[in-house]
Chain A
Amino acid sequence: DAGVTQSPTHLIKTRGQQVTLRCSPKSGHDTVSWYQQALGQGPQFIFQYYEEEERQRGNFPDRFSGHQFPNYSSELNVNALLLGDSALYLCASSLDARGRLGEQFFGPGTRLTVL
């Protein structure tokens, strides 16, 4: 059983560009959350998708947007990249039926560097 997978593993962009990161959830999971982790910090919640809609959003600007597909996979899009967007982007999947007690399973992340 493949766990959460993310692509690409590394990405280098320049300021002002746009980027799309992809995530496939663990088999059987229907909910995807995205987190941003700056160097030396804990992950910060960006948003969560369930039933193809954004269910909850953290304190991130509208430049950060997402999508969930019918097969539960998800994309994170970041427009007008800033140097401060350089971070590890983590995707986590969970099963909504487990509610707030359910584990979130994390992927290995995508390392984004903005030059």
Chain B
Amino acid sequence: DAKTTQPNSMESNEEEPVHLPCNHSTISGTDYIHWYRQLPSQGPEYVIHGLTSNVNNRMASLAIAEDRKSSTLILHRATLRDAAVYYCILRDVFGGAGSYQLTFGKGTKLSVIP
């Protein structure tokens, strides 16, 4: 899996939008961009994924740059429950035997201020 780069930490005020960036300059054409988050004392949970177009679901939006070398996870109104470590992960949908795993970096620790 190609490497991703994320800031170590970010802060947001409650009820304000949050934009979490991810750089993946070596992304290949068959890499999907996945986001997972890990709340304190819990296992990671899936947030969203996309290939080229922007994606929305009930949890978040994913904005993908036109050249696909970066993406941004958008939480429209941060709540205290959104305080977590957010991981940006690339998955090659046509990858070989080495691509079944999720390759986590250190992620971005998001703090939400009441």
The interface residues of chain A, by DSSP majority, are classed as mixed
Question: What are the residues of chain A within 8 A of B32 when measuring CB–CB?
Answer: 100-101
Kindly supply a per-residue 1/0 record for chain B positions 29-50, scoring 1 wherever the CB is within 8 Å of any chain A CB and 0 otherwise. 0001000000001111110010
Flag whether A90 is at the interface (Cβ < 8 A): yes
Contact residue among A4, A35, A41 (Cβ-Cβ distance under 8 Å from B106): A41
Question: What are the residues of chain B within 8 A of A101 when measuring CB–CB?
Answer: 32, 49, 91, 93
Question: What are the residues of chain A within 8 A of B43 when measuring CB–CB?
Answer: 4, 90, 92, 106-109
Nearest A residue to B85 via CB reads A42
Flag whether B7 is at the interface (Cβ < 8 A): no
A43 and B74 alpha carbons, distance in the complex (Å): 23
Kindly supply a per-residue 1/0 record for chain B positions 76-111, scoring 1 wherever the CB is within 8 Å of any chain A CB and 0 otherwise. 000000000101000111110111111111110000
Query: Interface residue tally of chain A, by bracket?
Result: 20 to 34
Across the interface, do B42 and A100 meet the contact criterion of CB distance under 8 Å? no
Query: Interface residue tally of chain B, by bracket?
Result: 20 to 34
Question: Which residues between 3 and 50 of chain B lie within 8 Å of chain A, taking CB atoms?
Answer: 32, 41-46, 49
Across the interface, do A105 and B104 meet the contact criterion of CB distance under 8 Å? no
Contact residue among B45, B94, B100, B102 (Cβ-Cβ distance under 8 Å from A55): B100
A104 and B38 alpha carbons, distance in the complex (Å): 13
Flag whether A44 is at the interface (Cβ < 8 A): yes
A4 and B104 alpha carbons, distance in the complex (Å): 20
Question: What are the residues of chain B within 8 A of A108 when measuring CB–CB?
Answer: 41-43
Contact residue among B44, B92, B93 (Cβ-Cβ distance under 8 Å from A43): B44
How close is B105's CB to chain A, nearest CB, in angstroms?
6
Q: Please report A residues at the B interface, Cβ cutoff 8 Å.
A: 4, 33, 35, 40-45, 48, 55-56, 58, 90, 92, 99-101, 103-109
